[in-house]
Amino acid sequence: MKKILLGLLALTMSATLLAEDKFGIGVGMGLSDSMYKGAEDKSYPMPLLDINYGDFYVKGVTVGYQFYKDDAFAASLFLNPLAGFAVDSEDLKSGYDNIDDRKFQAMFGIRLDADTGFYGVKTGLTAQVGEHGGEGKLSAFKAYRVDEKLTVVPSIHIKGYSGDYTDYYFGVTKEEAGRPGNYKLRNKAYEADAAYSIGLNITADYRLTDNVALMAFLGVEKFSSEVSDSPIVEDGVLYLVGVGAKYYF
């Protein structure tokens, strides 16, 4: 499931925020189960980019422009070219595998970050929209510096998905349900409504040197019934795990 890559890139964001004054380039490997019926667990290589040039930045695959920043608050506009829960129909098991492919979508949005001043807790709020609907996210995280080399960042977030967004990725049209190859979807057309998910993540950053860091990340995402009730979804829980290495200039 290609959403794995994006989820794992998102998990690295909290750690990369600790190094805003440097350029970081690295690579990682992520693994997850799949939400879709019959789709196998897969591992994916992933770029770990943390590039800042003036007010422009690249974080993972997201490109942004920071138009405001002070000591406690920052605001930026961004483009995420690979948003969504893409899956190829052939990856689903027999009886479900004659649906249309679900594609990535480019989404444009705004990001607001704030330091709460409460025990080092920082928050983020994003809203983005694309061809197949919109998504919003509210998150909070805190960095714990265990020693001079190891930093651990736990975080929690809640996401909301518009009805158009959820229906595109998890709905089943009458045409799809009626296709001969989809015998397990017969009479199971499904229109998904607006949905939400809650996630818990933890990222660890270990500095081997001033320029080289090792990273590990773990996350779990629980989706609401509007997603888990879909006939093409195995269950509404997504697990993510990965490791990586990054070089800072």
Looking up residue 185, the CATH number of its domain turns out to be 2.40.160.40
The least confident of 11-15, 97-101, 106-110 is 11-15
Mean pLDDT to the nearest integer, 77-100: 91
Residues in the chain: 249
16 pLDDT more than 80 = no
Return the ∠ at Cα 103 (arms to 97 and 105), rounded to 5°: 165
Q: Rounded mean pLDDT of 35-39?
A: 86
Question: With bands split at pLDDT 50, 70 and 90, how would you rate the model's confidence at 9?
Answer: low
C-alpha distance across the termini of the chain, in Å = 33
Overall average pLDDT of the 194-209 stretch: 94
pTM of the predicted model, to two decimals? 0.89
Region 69-83: mean pLDDT is: 93
Measured between alpha carbons, how far is 249 from 53 in angstroms, rounded to an integer?
Answer: 13
Mean pLDDT of the chain: 87
Identify the weakest region by mean pLDDT among 41-45, 50-54, 60-64: 41-45
Total domains in the fold of the chain? 1
Q: How confident is the model at residue 15 (pLDDT cuts 50, 70, 90)?
A: very low
- Percent of the chain beyond pLDDT 90? 58
Residue 17 has pLDDT above 70, yes or no: no
CB 66 within 8 A of CB 74: yes
Cα 34–Cα 8–Cα 213 angle in degrees, nearest 5: 145
Alpha helices in 53-190 (DSSP H): 163-170, 174-177
Maximum mean pLDDT: which of 18-22, 58-62, 229-233: 229-233
pLDDT at 212: 92
The answer for residues whose C-beta is within 8 angstroms of residue 130's C-beta and 6 or more apart is 83, 84, 105, 106, 107, 108
- Of 4-13, 145-154, 209-218, the one with minimum mean pLDDT is 4-13
pLDDT reading at 1 higher than 50: no
Give the model's pLDDT for residue 2: 44
Full residue range of the structural domain in which residue 118 is found: 3-248
